[in-house]
Amino acid sequence: MITFNKDRFASDLINWYSVNKRDLPWRINSDPYRIWISEIMLQQTQVNTVIPYFNRFMELFPNVVALESASSETVLKAWEGLGYYLRARNLHEAAKMIVENFSGQFPKDYESIIKLKGIGSYTAGAISSIAYNEPVPAVDGNVMRVMSRILTIWDDVALTKTKIKFEDIINDIIPIETPSNFNQGLMELGALICKPKGQKCSICPVMKHCIAYNGGVDDQLPFKSSKTKQVNVPLITGIIINNRNQYLMRKRPDQGLLANMWEFVQVEGFEFEDLKFYLLEHYNIELEKGYRLGEVKHIFTHRIWLMNVYKSSVSTFIELPNHLKWLSKEELELIPISTAHRKLFEWI
């Protein structure tokens, strides 16, 4: 299947990685727990952003048992600002699985690891190869980009079958003796040299193996079909305060987007009256006049929140359901709030 010299390619890649690998906090040892946390954090998040979060997370939850025993709200609070909060909830669930099924010891083989909540083939492969030196592929977008250029593969990298194809290719190339450095070398090459745009071919350690570079088509790969168009969602968001200087906050449902995160109350609509009617109709909360503060835009994968922000107040107290609370500014710092709503703090 592979027509180039796979042994020389692997050797050149590993030699480069051993000299040029970055000094990252999850590389200080081969602890599978640290590798796992880092890999989950690095999904859809830049390395420089992850580092302080990773260090703080390790201080709060130094091992699986510490993570398992924490409350879900504490875990979400530690994750606050990283986004894609389902990752944090899955981490917590997987920690419970490890404590229950493996006595708190991280499982030591690929087949056991991939059964954990929130772990797919890439993460299982990364943990297995880096922590336990198991010769299994760890294929993500970076690796598919690198190998699509190396071998001039035009398959659509947005498709699951293409990822499986690349896993088969890596299975054929990965050296049995040094799978850890090989997989990390591919990841590092994609991060530092073989970038999505502006790839540094002139200093690439495996340039001579790259069929796309030598054919002059490296800038055309990888091929990826168009993303689903993002939907604009107009929202009226209320910073609502009572006469005790407390803010009305709402906890999102335990399923779906930003599950279990807290937020200022908002409703789809274009006018302040939409929010006023919603609160009166659902909770018998009557708002005073609203003052528009500005607009906040927050981008998710498939939608864009266009938040028209208003400040208003209430003059009476009524009993609230469990998912609504009046909280002081100091108390807001103690609960998990999404980045979208943290942007509103400039107005409180």
* HSE, side-chain direction, 13 A CA sphere, residue 210: 27
- What residue has token string 């050149």? 12
Active site residues: 39
Distances (CA, A) of 224 to 5, 111, 115: 27, 30, 29
Residue 141, Ramachandran bin (φ over 0: left; ψ between -120 and 50: alpha; else beta): alpha
Write the DSSP assignment of 220-255 as a string of letters.
G-S--PPPPPPEEEEEEEEEEE-TTS-EEEEEPPSS
Element (H, E) at 299: strand 291-299
> What is the 8-class DSSP label of residue 326?
E
Residues contacting 140, CB < 8 A, separation 6+: 122, 187
Q: Give the list of residues 6+ apart from residue 57 with CB closer than 8 angstroms, or none.
A: 37, 41, 78, 79
User: For 342, how many CA atoms within 13 A lie in the half-sphere containing its CB?
Assistant: 13
Reduced to 3 states, what is the DSSP secondary structure of residue 310? strand
Question: Nearest to residue 279, comparing CAs of 251, 307, 320?
Answer: 320
Cα–Cα distances (Å) from 245 to 238, 309, 320, 327, in that order, read: 15, 18, 17, 8
Angle value at C-alpha 155, between 153 and 160, nearest 5 degrees: 125
- Partners of 298 in the β-ladder: 305
Residues 134, 135, 137, 138, Cα dihedral to 10°: 40
In eight-state DSSP terms, residue 337 is B
